[in-house]
Amino acid sequence: MNKKVFIKTFGCQMNEYDSNRIYDSVKKIGFIKTEKYDDANCYILNTCHIRDKAKEKVYHEIGRVKKIYNKKKKPIIIVAGCVAQAENQEMLKREPYIDIVIGPQSYHKINQVLKNFSEKEKKEETDFDTIQKFDYFDKIKNTSNKISSFLTIQEGCDKFCHFCVVPFTRGPEYSRPFKKIISEAEELINNGVKEITLIGQNVNAYSYKENSKIYKISNLINELEKFSELKRIRYTTSHPRDMTEDLIECYSTSKKLMPFIHLPIQSGSNKILKLMNRRHTVEEYLDIYNKLKKINSSIEFSSDFIISYPGETEQDFNDTIQLIKKIKFINSYSFIFSPRPGTKASELELIDEKISKERLLKTQKILFSQQLEMNKSFKNKLINVLVENKMDGQNKLFGRNNYLNSTIFKGDKNNIGKVVKVEIESCNQNSLFGKIAHKNMKAA
């Protein structure tokens, strides 16, 4: 009989991709995926360590699982992801309910660890074996058939921003072989995938050398462009330092690359960017923005902001606000600085909590109003939407426009996987609402 595995995923797109690949792997040793919390023989928690209390969230979640399985047979409990990498042995000592701790660069060992599992022996796998990991997964079919799917091209980070744990949890930068990425993309397209988002911690730092040719993310985009069944290409998360001319050029040559870029800046103050070790200035960021807008004025931006980084004065904060107003980001993430163990910024003096909360509120108020303004601009217009699925329990479809806005509309489910024109009737901050347009109407 098949055993069932349940994976709960926190964190970024990379964790989402990894969880799917873990499913692909454990399937080979007889595990099937269950969506039910209380029905698993193996429970995997794929964790994120990026901000505060990450560790506590994990123990809290394990406590919940313990209660659920109180009167049932205990499943094998695996903690995976970035907290697993950062905390490793500590977790096994603190919470005996956990059986296995496995870091992101050791997932190729998961089948072996499960096959050899013994209730009496706890296991920890946290080596940085990135090459072996990708070699292993290259031999396992990617079964994702979501209309919009992620594809990891690069992992890890060498930039060491002073606030960030990623270089410690994901290890050094590694770019996958060009041909392996393209064959995985082909697999996805054969599964029915219509939109591929290339992902990596520094996705545009992708660089792979073979026979003296260096392949960049621009080469991947150009190659993906050739698949006629693929309708859209995106990438995330990019770093301003790696927005090279060849990538910028793709916005004039590619018909499938979407006109929406998530390009984190973190702060609008050069002083703070320097303190963060971001290695780019506000002016360099604006230069990228201007170049892209010149190529195509409909390109829009979203970003990440860290509010109240140690040393941020009222003036520095106002510089961030001015930048947000100037660029008119259409969708962004903002969080108060959270000291992470082991990072350079963890020892610095924090800004008063009340001031930080006020700054965050002010930032989000502006970001959210810009988002709403953008959404309102679609009202009574026709927009192109890639239809992803039928909504649960509703007679409506769900899809996304070029700018990743959720769009909910009336229409036939035969449209799933197609790019259709939707007439927008109303909106809120997060979503657009409408109906499929008559033929012959032209999208704005």
Q: Which residues bind ligand SF4 (CB under 6 A)?
A: 157, 159-161, 164, 166-167, 201-202, 239
C-beta of 237: minimal distance to ligand SAM in Å?
Answer: 4
The single residue among 144, 152, 266, 269 that binds ligand SAM, judged by CB under 6 A, is 266
Residues paired with residue 46 on neighbouring β-strands, in sequence order: 9, 80
Residue 343: CB minimum distance to ligand SF4, A:
9
Beta carbons of 258 and 232 less than 8 angstroms apart: yes
* Contact mark string toward ligand SAM, 190..229, x via CB under 6 A: -----------xx---------------------------
As measured in angstroms, the least distance from the Cβ of 104 to ligand SF4 is 13
Sign, CA torsion 107/194/198/300:
negative
**Cβ neighbours of 155 (radius 10 Å):** 26
Q: What binding mask, one character per residue, do residues 151-190 give for ligand F3S by CB under 6 A, x or -? A: --------------xx--xx--------------------
Q: What residue 168 binds from ligand SF4, ligand F3S, ligand SAM, none (CB within 5 to 8 A, per partner kind)?
A: none
Q: Which is closer to ligand F3S, CB of 15 or CB of 363?
A: 15
x/- map, 73-92, ligand F3S, by CB under 6 A: --------xx----------
Stretch binding ligand F3S (CB under 6 A), from 42-50, 220-228, 277-285, 387-395: 42-50
Q: Which does 88 bind (CB under 5 to 8 A by kind): ligand SF4, ligand F3S, ligand SAM, none?
A: none
Q: For residues 236 and 415, which CB has a smaller minimum distance to ligand SAM in the complex?
A: 236
239 touches ligand SAM (CB under 6 A): yes
Helix then strand count (H, E) for the chain reads 14, 22
The one-letter amino acid code at 105 reads: Q
State the binding partner of 258 from ligand SAM, ligand SF4, ligand F3S, none, CB within 5 to 8 A by kind.
none
Pairing assessment for the beta strands 3-9 and 31-33 based on DSSP bridges: parallel
Query: DSSP letters of 375-389?
Result: HHTTTTSEEEEEEEE
SS (H, E, C) 213-262: EEEEHHHHHHHHCCCCCCCEEEEECCCHHHCCHHHHHHHHHCCCECCEEE
Q: Is 397 in the site for ligand SAM (CB under 6 A)?
A: no
Minimum CB distance to ligand F3S smaller for 156 or for 399: 156
Q: Which of 306, 323, 324, 416 binds ligand SAM (CB under 6 A)?
A: 306
Provide CB contacts within 8 A for 315, sequence distance 6+: 269
User: DSSP labels for 302-317?
Assistant: E-EEEES-TT--HHHH
Give whichever of 142 and 238 is closer to ligand SF4, judged by the CB atom: 238
Of 296, 301, 306, the residue nearest 275 (C-alpha): 306
Residues in the chain: 444
Beta bridge pairs of residue 7: 44
Q: Does 234 bind ligand F3S (CB under 6 A)?
A: no
335 binds, among ligand SAM, ligand F3S, ligand SF4, none (CB under 5 to 8 A by kind): ligand SAM
Per-position x/- string for 7-26, each x denoting binding to ligand SAM as judged by CB under 6 A, each - no binding: -----x--------------
Q: Which stretch binds ligand SAM (CB under 6 A): 108-116, 130-138, 148-156, 332-340?
A: 332-340
**Residues between 10 and 39 that touch ligand F3S (CB under 6 A):** 11-12, 14-15
User: What is the edge-to-edge ordering of all strands in the sheet holding 3-9?
Assistant: 31-33, 3-9, 42-47, 76-80, 100-102, 123-125
State the minimum distance, in angstroms, from the CB of residue 404 to ligand SAM.
Answer: 16
Contact partners, residue 284, CB within 8 Å, separation at least 6: 240, 241
| 166 belongs to the binding site for ligand SAM (CB under 6 A) | yes
Q: How far is CA 35 from CA 7, 32, 46, 102, 111, in A?
A: 8, 10, 15, 22, 20
Q: Which one-letter amino acid corresponds to residue 177?
A: P
Q: Which of 391, 381, 365 is nearest to 432 (CA)?
A: 381
Contacting positions for ligand F3S (CB under 6 A):
11-12, 14-15, 48-50, 81-82, 165-166, 169-170, 201
